[in-house]
Amino acid sequence: MSGTRPKHKTTWNDYQERILRVLMYIQEHLDEALDLDELARVACFSSFHFHRIFAAMTGETLADHVRRLRLERAAMELRSGAKQVIQVALDAGYEAHEAFTRAFKATYGVSPTASRRATEPIAILAAPSGVHFQQGVPLTRFSTNHINTKVMKVITKKIKPLRVAYLRHVGPYEDTNQTWIDLMARLSADKQIRKRSVFIGMGHDNPSVTPAAALRYDACITVDEDYEPKKPVELQTIAGGDHAVVKNCPVEKIKDAFEFLYGKWLARSSRELRPAPGFLVLVGARDTVAPRKQRVDIYMPLQPKRPLNTAEQMNIEVTTLEPRRVAYMRHVGPYDGASRTWLDFTARLKKDGLLRKDSLFIGVPMDNPKVTPPEKLRYDACVTMDEKYVPTKPVRVRTIAGGDYVVARNCPFGAIARGYEQLFRSWLPKSGRKVRKAPSFVVKVNGPEGMGPAFGVTDIYVPLEVGK
């Protein structure tokens, strides 16, 4: 995977779609405190790696992106004159007028008051992703053209668990040299520095998110199984398994390598990251610690490689269901735009405390996209509710019919169309069963907690007439 063209185009498109969902969510919840874990769930990424993926693909950190959008909105509100400056400042997330004035002037070059009086067009701020605040205009795309890091060779490698002794450094990552010297001195005294020793640096925090003074870094050296360290040296085991590896990376190129891994290679690789820290293996570090010309091998932990989950590989079975009472919101338009309705619907239910561990998330497409124009397609985002629930508009209640269903298990969201095709063109003609006049639906199996089936793996249910 050293080329720039996507090896798996659908995977690249999937990553873009996941980040686009986050950008849409931010635009629609700009007045709220945006939680990193919540945004990671929207994107179906682990919160451990989400921020780096977002920054690599949009060209901005999450905080910088949100701050810019709020200031762009503030500039528009100032120019309209509908709100007082202090209210504009509060809406932009600033508790003090002075802080807002400083931030606005640093961004636009003029004070908020001067901007309100100006007659020339509002300056357009630099946005690597091409995403700007636009009131009431649906966000449909973003640009990744800013990802211009030099192509690096990445290999995948399975490693065994590594038992290491380590000392923890807290502070800027550039200041770890003394920690390494201390660790080497202690392990040398214990005769644990060998020719086969592996020197590993593990950063636990993202410097784009965590203040430099709070960054955690473990200086690690592999040790024998029977070695028992003396305080302050401690032991840990670095998990084995699959890793993406950039070999012989110069120290000054580490940032570029991470950007390439998160922004290009990962989205083109068909692989997912494991929620665990990556690490650096110091090349030739046995004699000199952290020299200026040091090279490193960068290891990023990957989820186990799964076989391609296609419609043909899905488990198909017949089951009988009881009727289900559900609350729902209707989406009208292309089915691939239903994620916006799911975000709105689940936010409402979560706010009212109506999401439970046993809630089922069900998507009901009402129309055949081969017959109905895209703009008229109807889709109901549904969540199971008890009999006592009373909805408030725009949420409504319906009952999903019970009875016999044929089910295609564990279908990825992106393969739903193929799943339906497999059921209708292959399974049904061979089964002798007939489809009942009732809507089919999909039920979320896994994915982000509290999110609907537009965000994970689903089971497809097609209603059947009673069998003979």
Question: What are the tens digits of pLDDT across the range 111-134?
Answer: 999 999 998 999 999 999 999 998
The pLDDT of residue 411? 82
**Distance between CA atoms of residues 467 and 28, nearest Å:** 47
Answer whether 294's CB lies under 8 Å from 283's CB.
yes
* Residue 223 predicted with pLDDT over 70: yes
pLDDT tier, 136 (very low <50, low <70, confident <90, very high otherwise): confident
**Distance between CA atoms of residues 20 and 16, nearest Å:** 6
CA-closest candidate to residue 381, choices 309, 430, 454: 454
The pLDDT of residue 436? 92
Q: Show the tokens assigned to 197.
A: 């020793």
The residue assigned the tokens 């009673």 is 466
Please report the beta strands in 122-212, taking only residues with DSSP state E, as ranges in sequence order. 154-159, 162-170, 199-203
CA 361 vs. chain centroid, Å, equals: 20
Amino acid at the residue 29: H
pLDDT, average across residues 79-87 = 90
**Distance between CA atoms of residues 323 and 382, nearest Å:** 14
pLDDT, average across residues 142-169 = 91
The pLDDT of residue 216? 96
* Residue 196 predicted with pLDDT over 70: yes
**pTM, entire model:** 0.71
Question: What are the tens digits of pLDDT across the range 440-451?
Answer: 999 998 766 666
Q: Show the tokens assigned to 450.
A: 């509290």
Answer whether 282's CB lies under 8 Å from 177's CB.
no
